[in-house]
Structure 1
């Protein structure tokens, strides 16, 4: 099992999500109430499917970024609650759509919505949640915030299409893969963090700093997920280790191991990822090759570099409990094994 001990941390204790949970708790309680209200519908299937995923145990880190970044800049209104709920609905809709595209059977140890209610219902409920997200954005009345989140929504969809086009092609480069992660994952982290200072009227420098923070955090977050899939524990992932491999997902450890491999190893990866020869024996071989070429360590090094960038960006925030919470999230994202 690979160690994820992180040099990003600035204290003897590892990163913890507890500070941001504490700082955002009152407002996140309001977010949770609004989630239940806005996921409601006279069409019975909509709240059933929405609740299936919303209540499945996710930490709701993205909406907490919106709350904490707004508080860090002294925001006093309630628009951050609506935007945080919008962010969570965007994320939930993306998960519903992703599970259909990826043909996933499980998410956080539970059957995916598509396995219970079918692909069509999952896609349509995802669309409903996106519609509700945009309704709340409009209610807040900030054109700048609407622009940030609507742009992120388009970028996320673009990233999903890009990933679909590149799926199961071992010719995918590291740069191409990171561009997909930037779009699919980092864009929403960046938008979630950036809208906080926008609501607070903190100015362009604050917006840019929080955008950099969120984007770097999102990239680090996904790369650590990539590492955990081959070197972690199921409890850390909310899914089974090796799921990415079984689904034929070409992640950074695979790309790096493939690029470093000999001809026989390259043929193995082509058979496994492009032709679907990905049983348990193949997973064991894949894990061995990834370790042989130190691909987990190399991926983690990149995650730590993004974490360092996120940390440096957060240091520009006004001093206070919200800033400390956002700094702690960086270490938490890097060091989720422990």
Structure 2
């Protein structure tokens, strides 16, 4: 193998072009719902919400709802409002997350809390959560309402769990996986699972789509946590090393800490406590993550969960929808390269 080829890099660069093409008509309808429902007589609400909603996000989670509905050959329109509800839940959590993390940059743009302040960001996030529940109720399915409302609660639990684990270098890998399954994968799984409800499919189909979304969500977050240490603001849309400076205990840190010498563990304790988290320390952290294979092994775990997501689609017929959903998993992992 040439020394210029990254040992973890896929041979071809996957994309979500297939999912975008598959869901384009439905996504137009979803966007109309989003724009309509984020309006308010209070001018600050659509202004602030629009800053994030129109800020360059891929709409991945609502596209998953649409893509899974296409996989099931659902021909109705119920899923348009529900996909919008999924996006509102996601956007609300981003607004709240940026306040909690004191983030100043998202998707390469100034965050809402930097521009309008923390109180406005929190309250507009609450508004979007409320709009999502209105859309769920309008759908009329108690099962859909149960799935999405439960996901909302689980996401909040995951965020609180992450907060309690912050700066704790003794956090275990199992605990970390519980946190990311809650704070990230729960909405991925719900977004996929509700497609089976609107298409009136059986419990086995519902379980398969839930497993696809959950494993994709775990893989997605694992990659995010890895590239925080190996990417840059232009690629990530946020400052590299933000997790390090915030004392977030992610899998690369957990692995590097577990594999480190006593002196290296002392470094991680100091850095994660916030007592030594400058640029020099960030550079050293990157070096330790490489020598302990922490980032490489984090990405290996992401590929494992990605494979599980693809396996969950095995029982569905081959076609453009299955191909697009499979390529979406491959794209989620390839973001690291």
Q: TM-score, normalised by structure 2?
A: 0.96
- For 1:231 and 1:115, how far apart are their aligned partners in 2? 25
* Helix, strand or coil at the partner of 2:243: helix
Count, aligned residues: 333
Cα deviation, residue 125, structure 1: 0.4
Residues 24-76 of structure 1, C-alpha deviations (whole Å, 9 max, x = no match): 00000111111110010000110011011111111110000000111111212
1:305 aligned residue: 304
2:50 aligned residue: 51
Alignment map for 1:59-74 (pairs within 5 Å)? 59-74=58-73
Distance 1:115 1:37, change over 3 A: same
Cα deviation, residue 337, structure 1: 4.1
CA contact (8 A) 2:245 2:274 kept: no
- For 2:21 and 2:98, how far apart are their aligned partners in 1? 31
Q: Which has the higher contact order (CA 8 A, sep 6+)?
A: 1
Cα deviation, residue 299, structure 1: 0.4
Q: Structure 2 stretches of 5 or more lacking a match?
A: none
2:103 aligned residue: 104
Distance 1:18 1:260, change over 3 A: same
- For 2:223 and 2:302, how far apart are their aligned partners in 1? 6
1:128 counterpart = 2:132: no
CA contact (8 A) 2:105 2:237 kept: no
Query: RMSD of aligned C-alpha atoms?
Result: 1.4
- For 1:250 and 1:296, how far apart are their aligned partners in 2? 13
1:203 aligned residue: 202
Alignment map for 1:112-191 (pairs within 5 Å)? 112-191=111-190
- For 1:2 and 1:158, how far apart are their aligned partners in 2? 37
2:218 aligned residue: 219
CA contact (8 A) 2:155 2:187 kept: yes
1:5 counterpart = 2:38: no
Alignment map for 1:29-48 (pairs within 5 Å)? 29-48=28-47
- For 2:317 and 2:143, how far apart are their aligned partners in 1? 22
- For 1:130 and 1:2, how far apart are their aligned partners in 2? 42
Deviant stretches of 4+, over 4 Å? 1-4
1:9 aligned residue: none
2:316 aligned residue: 317
Q: TM-score, normalised by structure 1?
A: 0.95
Q: Structure 1 stretches of 5 or more lacking a match?
A: 7-11
